[in-house]
Amino acid sequence: MEWYITVIFQYYRPHNCWMDNFWYFRHKFTKRMKYRCFLLAITLAGCTGNEPQKAATADRDTVILQTEPVREKPAEKPVVPLPGATIYSNERFKEVRVERTAQHTFLVQGKGQIFEASFNWVVEDGHYELKKGFEMTDAGAPEWGNFRFTVDVQKERANSTLMLILFESSPKDGSRQFELPVVLY
Contacts of residue 137, defined as CB under 8 A and 6 or more positions apart, other chains included, come to: 111, 112, 114, 117, 118, 119, 144, 145, 146, 147
What amino acid occupies position 174? Answer: G
As to burial, measured by CB atoms within 10 angstroms (0-12 exposed, 13-18 middle, 19+ buried), residue 115 is middle
Please say whether the beta carbons of 89 and 73 come within 8 A. Answer: no
| Residues of the chain below pLDDT 70 | 1-29, 46-85
The dihedrals phi and psi of 124, each to the nearest 5 degrees, come to -120, 155
What is the rounded distance in angstroms from the CA atom of residue 31 to the CA atom of residue 91?
76
- DSSP single-letter state for residue 3: H
Q: How far apart are CA 39 and CA 7, in angstroms?
A: 45
Q: What is the pTM of this model?
A: 0.54
Question: Are 90 and 167 spatial neighbours (Cβ–Cβ below 8 Å)?
Answer: no
Residue 79: what pLDDT?
Answer: 46
> How many residues are there in the chain?
185
Q: Are 95 and 119 in contact (CB under 8 A)?
A: no
DSSP three-state, residue 170? coil
Respond yes or no on whether the N-terminal peptide bond of residue 14 is cis (omega within 30° of 0).
no
pLDDT of residue 89: 86
